Structure 1
Amino acid sequence: MRIKYNFSVAGFTLQISLPQGWNVDALLPSFRAFRCPDEAEETEKLLTCTVYAAAERPSGVLPGTLLESTVSDMGYVSLYKYDKEAEGYCVTLSAEQKGRLHVMQADVFFSTVQVYLYENERLAGHALSSLLRIAYSQAVLYRGGISLHASAVFCGNRAFLFMGRSGTGKSTHAALWMKYVPGVELLNDDNPTLRMIQGKAYTYGTPWSGKTPCYKPLCFPLGGMVRLKQAPANRFYRQTEVDAFAAILPGCSVIRQDVALRSCLYDTLVQLAEQVPVGILECRPDEEAALMCHRALSPSDQ
């Protein structure tokens, strides 16, 4: 017996099927605010994920070719590409080096996913959430969406995104906006979603927010994006066209080896670069940097 749960993230429906007796709220506490009513069963799904106990996974060596292995906040992650007959991907994740592997298998569109989970492990819920994040970030690319590594705040009826390498100070800059710019609140501190809808850009909160528990099912028009660079003085440089495209690209989640996914991402990025103010902010972690960035991205508020 299985139980299906539906969640709405950035306007997309995710369906997760768990064995009866598994506690969805305990496994995925950050998803609670995104839970859909039962009527969502009739809506089109971005992805459908069926979760099994790890013991149910068919035995044998993992098929396919290893594309990359990474270590991040998600744990130790390896990505495999199946052969041409199977057409799809396999992802393994371990919370610890040489730990037991949670496994996700996905079709080439990441619309149909199976996860084999060691449900009794302490970090089983974190592993499931991370695997869903990987699948979601690829699936949205086919729908004009982007999962972006950034901090997002909102002020009035607009959202603003801060991008940069790990350790650059995205969360710090978001906190400076909240401290010095009236009315600013945090929308998401790690993985907001961007969508182009009828030529306009929107920012959404998601169930994934890094180390900061900020899980808000909210949506705002995108007011601007900035890539942060640490520097001894504060300077803002507006980016347009190719430069704007290049400023946004590094923060986007995409399987680089997949031509179709890259093509979808590039199409959306071109629209974003044309529609949304984008800048580079060389900055110190201070009040002046926050106010300078706010003025540059919000000319009507000056």
Structure 2
Amino acid sequence: MESTTYEVNLLLGRLCIQLISEVPLSVTDEIRTFCTDTGQADITVYVRVMKQKFRLPQRMVGEDLLLEYYYENGYFLAAAKRGTKGSAAVTVYTPDFSEIVFYLNEEEFPGMIRRVSKILQLFPVRQVLAKYQALVLHSSRILTGGKAVIFTAPSQTGKTTQARLWNQYTDAEIVSNDRALIQKEERTFYTTGYPVDGSDPVYSSRKLLPGAVVVLRQGVENQVERLTIRKALKYLMEQTVADIWNAEEIGILQNLWLDFMEAYPVYLLTCTADRRAVLCMKEQLMKDGVIPYGVN
């Protein structure tokens, strides 16, 4: 289902992003899960139609798969990468996000970028999240024993498989499939879903207390190792969605993980794709007090 509106308030963890548009925006079911009508916005994004093509600075300061980043006269510009046409969208914003305008290239891409999910994709959201002590991790999550256990690994390594095995053989509920938001609030961390969640999405905006992060590696036998902070930080940063060109952002994310690991364990699970992996990891989690004994 889809609806249209001129104003949308998105709640990502505790971060409220308000979109105020001069053209109607499309809200699909996955986005509606994260919409809110309460609370004051932390940042406001004004959505405007380009009146003319942008003259982008000659030198980029960074890029990712979708965006090119520039800096000029006190403003960042995040421009969608161009093909034969111009940029589909350009975001102009101050480093502290006090001013943000998202410009749509309606002339060359009529109606294409009006979906809120598309705006979120072409918006420098990772920088905003870092400013508000949050990060996005490539991961699947299960809820078991009242805690979120987070499985992370490179694509096609078995995140979804392990989550499904826990769901099949225990009372665990799958609450994310491909990405999760982890956010620090004062001295406590919470985890929620994220509007982008892979090919088999599970959209959940519930705030859950984390129990542990489990880094997965395929193997012929099942073995659990509790990682040192140094080893864990390497694995976690590899699967954290980040702008690697942005040293300030990377520093914030590293510090967030260091704070996280003061309270929550990170394991490396070498595993098979069957019930034995569940039993192996579950035994370790109960032994370490992450989940209580007696959980099905």
1:131 counterpart = 2:125: no
Unaligned runs of 5+ in 2: none
**Aligned counterpart, 1:88:** 76
User: Within 2, Cα distance between the matches of 1:241 and 1:227?
Assistant: 13
Question: 1:55-204 alignment to 2 at 5 Å?
Answer: 56-63=50-57, 65-66=59-60, 70-71=64-65, 77-83=66-72, 85-93=73-81, 101-105=87-91, 106-110=93-97, 112-117=99-104, 118=106, 120=110, 125=115, 126-132=117-123, 135-182=124-171, 184-204=172-192
CA contact (8 A) 2:126 2:243 kept: no
User: Within 1, Cα distance between the matches of 2:282 and 2:62?
Assistant: 38
Q: What is the count of residue pairs matched by the alignment?
A: 281
Question: 1:193-232 alignment to 2 at 5 Å?
Answer: 193-232=181-220
Q: For residue 34 of structure 1, give the secondary structure of its aligned residue in structure 2.
A: coil
Of residues 15, 18, 21 in structure 1, which corresponds to 2:21? 18
User: Within 1, Cα distance between the matches of 2:143 and 2:176?
Assistant: 9
Q: Report the TM-score, using the length of structure 1 for normalisation.
A: 0.82
Q: Report the TM-score, using the length of structure 2 for normalisation.
A: 0.84
Q: CA deviation at 1:200?
A: 2.4
Q: For residue 31 of structure 1, give the secondary structure of its aligned residue in structure 2.
A: helix
Q: For residue 165 of structure 1, give the secondary structure of its aligned residue in structure 2.
A: coil
User: Within 1, Cα distance between the matches of 2:272 and 2:55?
Assistant: 50
Unaligned runs of 5+ in 1: 72-76
**Aligned counterpart, 1:74:** none
CA contact (8 A) 1:180 1:291 kept: no
User: Within 2, Cα distance between the matches of 1:197 and 1:223?
Assistant: 16
* Percent identity over paired residues: 21
CA RMSD of aligned residues (A): 2.5
Q: CA deviation at 1:296?
A: 2.2
**Aligned counterpart, 1:7:** 10
> Quick one: which amino acid aligns to residue 212 of structure 1?
D
Moved more, 189-198 or 269-278: 189-198
Q: CA deviation at 1:98?
A: 5.1
1:48 counterpart = 2:44: yes
CA contact (8 A) 2:176 2:193 kept: yes
User: Within 1, Cα distance between the matches of 2:210 and 2:189?
Assistant: 6
